[in-house]
Structure 1
């Protein structure tokens, strides 16, 4: 009986080995007549999944997200609210406002690169180059000349025109400019709330109530002022206008 079971098991293994289809090749590269090389869909999907891991960094370094989230964070500190709105709300609001501001850039990239690539009228490398052009124009428009010159000097290269500047030189220059602009906006946001804190602290000191924290008294006044002037609409409108929207 044991011999029969052994023979049956060996038969099943041999049949499964024969019936098992050949594996998908990991890499297949086809060279066309013009010298261009194309990869299989398997490698294209692998490259796409790898590129998606850089999406958060691209979101912060190539869009308006950095300026918006820093401005909102400074606004929350100026109001004296530590956890309201929460980080999730601020990030979500910044993300949707970023999509709103970047819509013309995304539409241009979709029209000139993504759709032609999906229609198989554009090679992957050419599609990537064309998709980067709208983002390049956006970053150039928002980058200060001093910051751009700084990274050009650090790179040790010379460029005749702005169009010749390397994409990898432009990205850190753009982020540096965005940080400067965000902190300038944050400074302006702090001024009215700082005045309220100073007035409240002076009144409490004049009344001899030194043991009472001025932050407790000034907080409702700052919230009331922010609501009365329609602060959220002003901040969001100003941020959008700072990008030329």
Structure 2
């Protein structure tokens, strides 16, 4: 049998081994953290030295690029057909009666790629006349921005309604411009957004009406049959989906929205 004295010695030995292991782990972690900290510090110092050695023009171009990437989502929303596409798609989903199908990610993806397809000529012109010369150091920042805005302004002005443009000119409190080229960019962009909202809602109402007729007919039939407890949406939803599929709804919808820009 193990005596009480031996048990005490074993217990002390166990505590000693645990203490040694804890010290090894602690000092090892500290050493690893110090090595990692030194590596990170060296990388930061090296990056700072490279940034310091860069020419001022290159640094400014890099800063402008990062700023442009930050504002890129807002530009896609404000100055492209994306706004009209996403509103029409959302109103279509509500008109059919589907709450989450197709999901928002799918609608955003479809609207984004359709926007890229429609804006292809504009983006190509911006790349050839503004972005590439700016990256090559052949054009200053302000000149590159003004050059890039020319095709965007032409696209937006071609899709702006006169009423919305007059409203924005009055709100901005500027002198009446002699030509459209005299309009500030803020007025053009605001007028374009307001025009897109109006156009998208008009299209959405036109899409909504056929499905609304189906809902009214189904509701009257259920009311005449005395089935007032049964929600009409449960019965009308399959008919609305069937109607949309049989009439090739997605193709017609995308063609309608796209033709409203370029008359396809």
Change (3 A) 1:230 1:112: same
Once the two structures are TM-superposed, the CA of residue 25 in structure 1 deviates from its matched residue by 6.2
Residue aligning to 1:241? 259
Residue aligning to 1:54? 71
- Kept after mapping to 1: 8 A contact 2:82/2:115: yes
Establish whether residue 23 from structure 1 lines up as the match of residue 40 from structure 2. no
Residue aligning to 1:215? 233
* Unmatched 5+ stretches in structure 2: 1-44
Change (3 A) 1:27 1:194: farther
TM-superposition CA deviations, 1:191-220 (whole Å, max 9, x none): 100000011001111111111010000000
Once the two structures are TM-superposed, the CA of residue 110 in structure 1 deviates from its matched residue by 1.6
Once the two structures are TM-superposed, the CA of residue 108 in structure 1 deviates from its matched residue by 1.5
Which of residues 93, 102, 107 is equivalent to 1:90?
Answer: 107
Which of residues 213, 236, 242 is equivalent to 1:195?
Answer: 213
Change (3 A) 1:147 1:202: same
Look up the SS of the partner of 1:81 in the other structure: coil
Look up the SS of the partner of 2:49 in the other structure: coil
Look up the SS of the partner of 1:54 in the other structure: helix
Which of residues 26, 40, 43 is equivalent to 2:60?
Answer: 43
Matched positions, count: 218
Aligned counterparts of 1:25 and 1:195: Cα–Cα separation in 2: 65
Once the two structures are TM-superposed, the CA of residue 26 in structure 1 deviates from its matched residue by 5.7
Aligned counterparts of 2:261 and 2:192: Cα–Cα separation in 1: 13
- Kindly indicate which of the two structures has a greater share of residues assigned to helix: 2
- Kept after mapping to 1: 8 A contact 2:86/2:108: yes
Q: Highest Rg: 1 or 2?
A: 2
Change (3 A) 1:81 1:45: same
Which of residues 210, 224, 235 is equivalent to 1:206?
Answer: 224
